[in-house]
Amino acid sequence: MLRSNAEQRRRYEALDRAALADVQLSKLNDMLTALRPVNRLYSQKLANVRLPLESLDELTDLPLTSKDELLVDSPDHVGPSNLTWPLERYVRFHQTSGTRGRPLAVYDTADDWQWWVKCWQYVLDAAEVDASDRALLAFSFGPFIGFWSAHDALTSRGVMAIPGGGLSSLARLDLIERTRTTVLLCTPTYALHLVEVAEEHKLSLAHTAVKRIIVAGEPGGSVPAIRQRIEDAWSAKVIDHSGASEVGPWGYGDAAGRGLHVIESQFIAEFLSAETGQPAAAGELSHLVLTSLGRWGMPVVRYRTGDLVRPEWPTEGPNRFVLLRGGVLGRADDMLIVRGVNIFPTAVEQILRSFPEVVEYRLTARKRGEMDELIVEVEDRAQEPARIAEELRLRLGLKVDVRLASPMSLPRFEGKGRRFIDKRR
């Protein structure tokens, strides 16, 4: 069964754009036709839409969906506005991390959860995970959806899933050694933090059995300097993944490490130019808009993710799903304009991580009059912030205030790193 499913996934990846559009249109029409009479949010948003759609080109006639709309409670005050069924039909509850405001509750039916597991198989294919592997999930397993679906996707493959919740970093390193873990799942931040802990305790990560590290929750897996730093320390291959609680697990790492593929058999991706708001051309900085095709209990149609990406559409090779070069480049509301230069925190991190002596860092954005200003604090073993400031000036074309921080004074993170402090608002 797993083998035939893998073959089906490869067939989807190899479809040309026209054939893929036919698959997507069929799934989209099935979903919209079923949901419009019963879904609280989309019965209103799609009231004047003629169904079935005759072409994916008509998708742009449908209204966009924002997170603010989902945060509006349903009439009975249980769950977000886009719940389809009575609450008794749902078997999973999670919520967003709330890093950008009030946490959003998310609910999944049993069928929806199996769809999550199905999407995750693309990630596990990319990591070449099979039943001989032992996978440790370095995650707290709280209400944040994180790697919950990864756990079930692993066990569905016959992989030993080793939960790492409730343990210190040193205890997790010990567990990796004792279980001969071959696959590690964590955030890029935490993979680097484990490197720091191992160095502190004179442990060699390169001699563990870990050969693949699946990272998610942050852009680092597709940022070359971060990716290289993790791979060098662990002697393991990094596989990137991206998803969102309200959307689903939508992306997986390109085999060559160039960025993320969108799982277009399960999602429709649109790209709106960050400059004009119109459909973006290949390579253009754009807003990522996603429609989930298999999550009917809490659907999103034309959802503005807030992620900024650069799409490319491969026309050759075994995988023709749209490629996001460099992965998620940043969040639209995180972009700074410093003296006329557009900067994302990920671009700064890429430069900082190219210095092996930089252990941890923090970025703070604030207003100086009408202008954005960026301050960079670094824990630097070399104690030479001037060389970092010079590299930032050369590569960004911008003078940045770089300050030394005392060792171990900056926060460490197990989940999503919160190294960017925005004081402009």
Segments forming the whole domain that contains residue 134? 1-329
Distance (Å, whole) CA 123 – CA 150: 9
Residue 223, judged by CB atoms within 10 A of its CB (0-12, 13-18, 19+), counts as buried
**What's the confidence (pLDDT) of residue 339?**
67
Shared domain for 151 and 124, answered yes or no, is yes
Average pLDDT, the chain: 90
**What's the confidence (pLDDT) of residue 76?**
57
Shared domain for 238 and 349, answered yes or no, is no
pLDDT exceeds 90 at position 11: yes
Which of residues 162 and 372 earns the better pLDDT score? 162
Shared domain for 382 and 253, answered yes or no, is no
- Out of 285, 309, 329, a domain closes at 329
Fill in the DSSP letter of residue 80: B
Alpha-helix runs per DSSP H in 15-74: 17-35, 42-45, 67-70
> 3-class DSSP state for residue 335?
coil
Shared domain for 278 and 382, answered yes or no, is no
Shared domain for 318 and 378, answered yes or no, is no
**What's the confidence (pLDDT) of residue 424?**
76
Nearest 5°: phi and psi at 240?
-85, 155
375, two tokens: 């301050």
**What's the confidence (pLDDT) of residue 1?**
45
Shared domain for 212 and 357, answered yes or no, is no
Which of residues 127 and 343 earns the better pLDDT score? 127
Residue 410: CATH number of its domain: 3.30.300.30
Q: Give me the mean pLDDT over the 270-290 stretch.
A: 95
Cis bond before residue 37 (omega within 30° of 0):
no
**What's the confidence (pLDDT) of residue 173?**
97
Model confidence at 180, in pLDDT bands (50, 70, 90)? Answer: very high
Shared domain for 352 and 325, answered yes or no, is no
Contact call for residues 106 and 95 (beta carbons, < 8 A): yes
**What's the confidence (pLDDT) of residue 73?**
62
Shared domain for 133 and 47, answered yes or no, is yes
C-alpha dist (Å) from residue 331 to 163, 219, 227: 30, 10, 19
How many domains does the chain divide into?
Answer: 2
Distance (Å, whole) CA 325 – CA 312: 7
317-348 tens-digit pLDDT: 999 999 999 999 888 877 777 766 778 888 88
> What residues contact residue 30 under an 8 Å CB cut-off, 6+ apart?
none
- Out of 278, 299, 329, a domain closes at 329
Shared domain for 146 and 241, answered yes or no, is yes
Shared domain for 253 and 344, answered yes or no, is no
**What's the confidence (pLDDT) of residue 333?**
76
Shared domain for 324 and 358, answered yes or no, is no
Percentage of the residues of the chain whose pLDDT score is greater than 70: 94
Residue 315, judged by CB atoms within 10 A of its CB (0-12, 13-18, 19+), counts as exposed
Contact call for residues 373 and 365 (beta carbons, < 8 A): yes
Beta-sheet strands, E only, within 247-390:
248-253, 259-262, 267-273, 286-292, 303-309, 311-312, 323-325, 330-331, 336-338, 341-343, 358-368, 371-380
pLDDT exceeds 80 at position 385: yes
Residue 107: CATH number of its domain: 3.40.50.12780
Shared domain for 113 and 207, answered yes or no, is yes
